[in-house]
Structure 1
């Protein structure tokens, strides 16, 4: 398929195809939806906000994308339309409770997108607390956390430029098409892709990893009994139901600042500290030094990658073997060095990576070694937008699509109200209870704070202290 409705078509990138890896097995295609809202304690002009949204659509190719399946070629294609002129609805939730408003936005998040139609929907909203702003739901194949924040920021800056004096017009977005063409060039047998494949193949020459559960060894022991294999090292990472929920735990601004200060002093990213907290908790619960988890990489290093929208996240297994007699700081440095190594190879196709790993270790179907996947989102609107409206309050909120393909996905984001951290656990309801996740969150934080207060303590000593 060369064209569709007069527009040039393009195949999908590896990052887009990655979402079929789980969506193809889910009973509801809304599993692909990402729903979010941004509301501000400010009286916005609805017509002007609508104009800003249309202008932001005009400036962002990926938000004008469409998807189509070619039955003859058995392949998905994408194309970009010239203009978005669909209606942008205004919904006033005044008189309803916040719970009722959130339930309605959650319902919007659970409507899948079809072929040859917009892959996102925006509604201008006024919430019961008087805040105003917008709700966005988009298909994950065209939208990730970074591009969502980038689009929201563009809308706000366009609105401010049109409605306030001395507010500069925002810098141009970059071309989505130009970026995906670079991705296709990489995927078409480039030297870089050959190098990256060699790296991951070498990675899996190591002995087989082992599953560590957030609630201990029960899943692994049960799987060993069920398969009558006492040497089994993989376990079911989820449940037999895709039904999912999101549970969020809040770390306040002041303790968050302590974590950030430690990271700055030690020249490490918060992602490294979060990995250390998670893996040390798993090490404690399973009495095992060999810990694997999934880590998501944003792949937005260049200006083109940062400003072209779309979806770019690739996730890979991240394995560390750190004995308890190493210090907390030594453990973090080991994680930092390994993260820096992995960063060089993250353009590799994550589906090919996972399929190769399964082939090497002969992992039973439905089982794996990684109990949790982590995404850390450093970008905030507090830093990069809303400055022209002054020091006003604003809120962001995620809405669940009702499904999750695996056991547990942790997203850590900075909260706009106080720049604290939100730990957002997306999980299969049958796989984990809120109480189990609350314990995980509590001990993970305890480990991080004990560790930054006593970085030269051994990991074993930190575990004993909590």
Structure 2
């Protein structure tokens, strides 16, 4: 039987273009380990993983080789035997385990017409047991992955404890076809394009990052354009690393209370903290652009179908130094509300609009940092597992396509907020990232506890420069 071929969605095309620019599927791997401080029935876990692959169609997606037009297609195989192995790591040290799983996460999925995920069941030191998963970003994003693991937890609990079986996930193919139809809707595309043309009529943005103006100055010299406002992206070397920090539970709860009080989202709060940090690093520059990732999972179908649904768009705000932190958040909220109404528009078309409007040199950008705020927690609803310690750890593929990319998500079992910083080591190191996190933390504290402070006053109270 011939499998039905489908085009890539705009989310997948965005990632496929990055793969072609950087020349390796390593940049598209997502590696994560989920573990319980309890014995695990690995035979049952393997059974549940195989059933999950049958339940969740996106886990059976494969890609064709390039067609004559240069593009690739996707299709869903009716059956797939997932790659599931076991490793006993009880005698390994924490650094050894991290190095091993980081290595596993560098092994991209380069072959066409092949599965795009691997499972490794693991026994870890200190009575921890669980699962490492490596998956291609083109078939799964972090939101979809967390749904998948929660679904697998529920299957495991169903068979082990007799708890109710989880509902079937939504059909990936149906959601895929709906997405492709929406992308081709000419009226929708024209409305989306008009929205972005209106935003661009405000004038050209300017590049900023945590290193101050150095990168922009270097780009101006290399292009011979003293008025250039975009900066070069790093394509090679693409070596990357990741650092993790956890904001304590008490502080995370205080930020959540602040968001409820002012009817703002955690994502917009974090965007404001990041743009304030970039403004601080660039001598108070009021015009700041970030790249913000949007999950596009508002409906049950989109939340449970898996797949990759992320879009990313520039978030540009001009916030003057006499504005308060809350003023800035509200400005971002208004801007982002407009973005969300047009969140199905192809991000690559947005990039093309910027390039055409402002004459950007190839491989340049206005955004020196990016953010994903992931609100969905990894959790188990089963009462037998409720009080068992749970841990989740994300790993670096050692190849990054952006200078600095922050993902913020709830720590397991409501232990606070985990901040994962991915960064390119050609220009940043651990000390830079540590300092950036410290500045972010100071800004979040000052901006939310002393609400009357202007941004210029916040800058004067930050303990040390970058």
TM-score, normalisation: structure 2: 0.95
Deviation of residue 351 (structure 1)? Answer: 0.9
Match runs of 1:188-337 below 5 Å? 188-238=184-234, 240-286=236-282, 287-337=284-334
Counterpart position of 1:64: 60
Question: Equivalences for 1:376-391 in 2 at 5 Å?
Answer: 376-382=373-379, 385=381, 387-391=383-387
CA distance in 2, matches of 1:169, 1:436: 47
- Paired residues in the alignment total 460
Q: Is the 8 A contact 1:247 1:424 kept in 2?
A: yes
Q: Residue 98 and residue 463 in structure 1: after superposition, are their counterparts in 2 closer, same or farther (change >3 A)?
A: same
Aligned counterparts of 1:274 and 1:418: Cα–Cα separation in 2: 18
Equivalent-residue separation in structure 2 for 1:110 and 1:78 (angstroms): 23
Q: Give the C-alpha shift of residue 170 in structure 1.
A: 0.8
Q: Residue 72 and residue 38 in structure 1: after superposition, are their counterparts in 2 closer, same or farther (change >3 A)? A: same
Of residues 84, 101, 106, the one that matches 2:97 is: 101
Consecutive unaligned residues in structure 1, runs of 5 or more: none
Paired position in structure 2 for 1:76: 72
8 Å contact kept, 1:237–1:370? no
> Is the 1:37–1:396 Cα contact (8 Å) retained in structure 2?
yes
Cα–Cα, structure 1 residues 370 and 385, in superposed 2: closer, same or farther, change >3 Å? Answer: farther
Alpha-carbon displacement from aligned partner over 1:161-186 (angstroms, at most 9, x marks no partner): 11114x11111100100111011101
Is 1:400 aligned with 2:382? no
Secondary structure of the 1:174 match is coil
Aligned match of 1:367:
364
Check whether the contact 2:238–2:400 (CA below 8 A) recurs between aligned residues: yes
The answer to whether the 8 Å contact 2:235/2:401 transfers is: no
Contact 2:296/2:343, CA 8 A, preserved across alignment: yes
- Assess if the C-alpha contact under 8 Å between 2:230 and 2:365 holds in 1: yes
- 1:246-284 deviation digits (Å, cap 9, x = unpaired): 111221111111111111111111111101111111112
Q: State the 1:142 CA deviation.
A: 0.3
The whole-number CA distance in structure 2 between the counterparts of 1:190 and 1:104 is 48
- Note if 1:348 corresponds to 2:345: yes
Provide Cα deviations, 1:135-165, integer angstroms capped at 9, x if missing partner: 1111110010011001101110000011114
Calculate the TM-score normalised by the size of structure 1: 0.95
CA shift at 1:387, angstroms? Answer: 4.8
Distance 1:45 1:240 in 2: 44
The one-character-per-residue Cα deviations of 1:393-449 (angstroms, maximum 9, x if unpaired) are 111111111211221111111111553112111111112111111111111111111
Structure-2 separation of matches of 1:334 and 1:260: 19
Structure 2 distance, partners of 1:199, 1:126, is 52
Aligned counterpart, 1:178:
174
Match of 2:51 in 1: 55
Could you say which residue in structure 2 is the equivalent of 1:127? Answer: 124
Report the Cα distance in structure 1 between the residues aligned to 2:203 and 2:115, rounded to whole angstroms: 46
Q: Is the 8 A contact 1:238 1:408 kept in 2?
A: no
> In 2, Cα distance between the equivalents of 1:318 and 1:87?
39
